[in-house]
Amino acid sequence: MTTSVICTQCGARNLATQAQCRRCKAPLGEEVVATATVRGTPTSTLLQERWAVLGLVRQDEGVRWQAGHDVERGSPVMIQLHQGAGEAMREVEGQARSFAELIHPGLLDVVGVVPGDEGVSVVMDWPSGARLDELLAARERVPLWVALALMQDLIEALRAMHGAGYRHGRLDASRVLVREQVDGRLGAALSGVWLGPDAPEPAQDYRAVARVFGQMLGVQERGPESDVAGMVLREIQGRVGEDAGAGIAGLVARMLAQDAAHSLINPREILGQIEALRASLDYEMMCAVEAGPFLRGSREDDEAARREEQPMSSVELSAFYIDRAPVSAAQFFRFASETGLKLDEEWYQFNAPRGAGELPVVHVTWREAYEYARWAGKRLPTEAEWEKAARGTDGRTYPWGDAPPNAELALYGENPAPGVPGERSAGRSPYGVEDMAGNVFEWVADWYEGTYYNEAPPRDPGGPRRGTRKVLRGGSFAHPEFALRCATRGRYEPGERRANHSFRCVWSLRDPQPR
């Protein structure tokens, strides 16, 4: 027997001294278990010779949540053990088998129901992703747009669960899996269900979602009487307009309300309010890019192509969200004000954060763009992510297709300054991303290397480990037509500033690593 820490994300066994999982790099909790090895899997219990019990995640009254591993499939599972015996457990078993027939993208599939000496174990599939509590422990918060999208997923899942006559009753961040491939994008799915008598009212589940939403925004409750709605408002003030901020805080307050006259428990109404709030967020909006392959680079027969854009090849990317528009001058000004970044007079010559704050910020270095992204809880896109968001999966030349640009599709040529993002909606990318060709030249995360495409990994490339210049993409208001091609690669030293240099951010479960 050995003392180990079991990763609840992938099931790997780690030394008790490790802070991160050796396999998936997820942060490790404090649960230390004594384990043996069965069929190569560290475990102390094996259910039906298939599901290995790896370690305790949480103990509630009468219910134990355990990380597990499917020995046959080699994949993680979550095991909900309902403790008890006799007729009560036979009722739990029957309900569990009935619940297993409920299929919904926001509910993790039940793959096994196993009665035993301690009670009934409900085994749920645990696909690739990250448990929300572990994700928040590593990153502290989730961008507002993503938090609203995940909240929407949870409400949809509860609507399906409640509609089938079930309740969750124990919903918190540890029961939420943020995963790829929820309707083709990053999304949230629920694990667990209330089985047995004394099921709570649906309102309890909706109150739990409101608290989880607050946690995603960085709210830390100090006790049951905490003003979660007020803390949410303080977290988002300045990032959104006053009306949007009040609307978000009001939604949280109504979902948390205890009295029937003021509480909001109608899922259709909650979903409608979330959709309306997301539509009002303007520059906080992000676009979902699904996981999967895309064609990167330029074809051999493309006469406009440079050698650095070749060879064209299929590259596999994990799912991510990308800002719909470049970061605005007003957003960057708030970042500078909160962090103490000194903006020189020349910055104000090119940016008017109060007079024309909706315009893309310009005259920023790569380091400033990088620091802004960290402050916002996001990061800069890799070259590959930027290119997929711009052109989709079919290898098109421009975001709108293969037709050459014109003034209705992009702002380019010899214009004196950037324009308001979104004014040329016909030029949007297949994912709805604005101004990926023209307007402003955008910093990305990668160092530039002219031969990188020949040696880059085929999945989630993070760029070279080192270099002297950083890549920019998309061309700008001052660039010729050639620079607007999705495959065109620009490069500047990271400390340089230009009147057309800007950026946008992305968010994903894991950060691609340079190699």
DSSP string, 71-103: TTTTEEEEEEEEE--THHHHHHHHHHHHHTT--
Write the CB contacts of 226 (distance below 8 Å, at least 6 apart in sequence). none
Write the CB contacts of 470 (distance below 8 Å, at least 6 apart in sequence). 366, 443, 444, 446, 447, 448, 491, 492, 493, 494
Judge contact between 474 and 438, C-beta under 8 A. Answer: yes
User: What tokens were used for 276?
Assistant: 């309306």
CATH architecture of the domain 132-282 equals Orthogonal Bundle (1.10)
Q: What's the pLDDT at 4?
A: 53
The contacts found for 250-258 with CB under 8 angstroms, 24 or more apart, are: 251/210, 251/277, 252/210, 252/213, 252/214, 252/228, 253/229, 255/206, 255/207, 255/209, 255/210, 256/207, 256/210, 256/211, 256/228, 256/229
Q: What is the number of residues in the chain?
A: 515
193-214 pLDDT per residue, tens: 999 888 999 999 999 999 999 9
Secondary structure string (H, E, C) spanning 221-264: CCCCCCCHHHHHHHHHECCECHHHHHHHHHHHHHHHCCCCCCCC
Domain with CATH 1.10.510.10 in the chain: 132-282
Q: What's the pLDDT at 9?
A: 62
User: What tokens were used for 411?
Assistant: 């702002």
Whether omega for the bond prior to residue 311 falls within 30 degrees of 0, making it cis, is yes
- Alpha helix stretches (DSSP H) within 352-391: 366-375, 383-391
* Phi-psi sector, 229: left (phi>0), alpha (psi -120 to 50), beta: alpha
Q: What's the pLDDT at 30?
A: 43
Rounded CA gap, 419 and 410, in Å? 10
What Å distances lie between residue 331 and 350, 371, 412, 433, 504, CA to CA? 15, 13, 24, 18, 11
104-149 pLDDT per residue, tens: 999 999 999 999 999 999 999 999 899 999 999 998 899 999 999 9
What Å distances lie between residue 430 and 188, 393, 502, CA to CA? 23, 9, 22
Q: What's the pLDDT at 41?
A: 45
Fold annotation for 2-125: Phosphorylase Kinase; domain 1 (3.30.200)
Q: What's the pLDDT at 35?
A: 44
Q: What's the pLDDT at 249?
A: 95
For 257, list phi and psi in degrees, rounded to 5: -60, 140
Which CATH superfamily does the domain covering 286-507 fall into?
paralog of FGE (formylglycine-generating enzyme) (3.90.1580.10)
Rounded CA gap, 382 and 390, in Å? 12
Strand-strand pairing, 501-503 and 441-447: parallel
Q: Which amino acid is at 338?
A: E
Domain with CATH 3.90.1580.10 in the chain: 286-507
Rounded CA gap, 257 and 481, in Å? 56
Domain with CATH 3.30.200.20 in the chain: 2-125
Closest CA to 220 of 148, 141, 150: 141
Rounded CA gap, 208 and 216, in Å? 12
Instruction: List the pLDDT tens digit at each of the 515 positions of the chain.
Output: 334 566 666 666 666 556 677 667 777 654 433 343 444 445 557 898 899 999 898 898 899 999 999 999 999 999 999 999 999 999 999 999 999 999 999 999 999 999 999 999 999 999 989 999 999 999 889 999 999 999 999 999 999 999 999 999 999 999 999 998 777 789 999 999 999 888 999 999 999 999 999 999 999 887 666 799 999 999 998 788 889 999 999 999 999 998 877 788 899 999 999 999 999 998 889 999 999 999 999 999 999 999 999 999 999 999 999 999 999 999 999 999 999 999 999 999 999 888 778 999 999 999 999 999 999 999 999 999 999 999 999 999 999 999 999 999 999 998 999 999 999 999 999 999 999 999 999 999 999 999 999 999 999 999 999 999 999 999 999 999 999 999 999 999 999 999 999 999 999 999 999 98
273 by Cβ neighbours in 10 Å (0-12 / 13-18 / 19+) ranks as middle
Q: What's the pLDDT at 8?
A: 60
199 by Cβ neighbours in 10 Å (0-12 / 13-18 / 19+) ranks as middle
Q: What's the pLDDT at 20?
A: 75
The contacts found for 420-427 with CB under 8 angstroms, 24 or more apart, are: 420/358, 420/359, 421/324, 421/325, 421/326, 421/358, 421/360, 422/324, 422/325, 426/400, 427/398, 427/399, 427/400
Rounded CA gap, 382 and 364, in Å? 18
How many Cβ atoms from other residues are within 10 Å of residue 179's Cβ?
22
Question: Radius of gyration (Cα) for the chain, nearest Å?
Answer: 25
Rounded CA gap, 383 and 162, in Å? 43
User: What tokens were used for 453?
Assistant: 């495409």
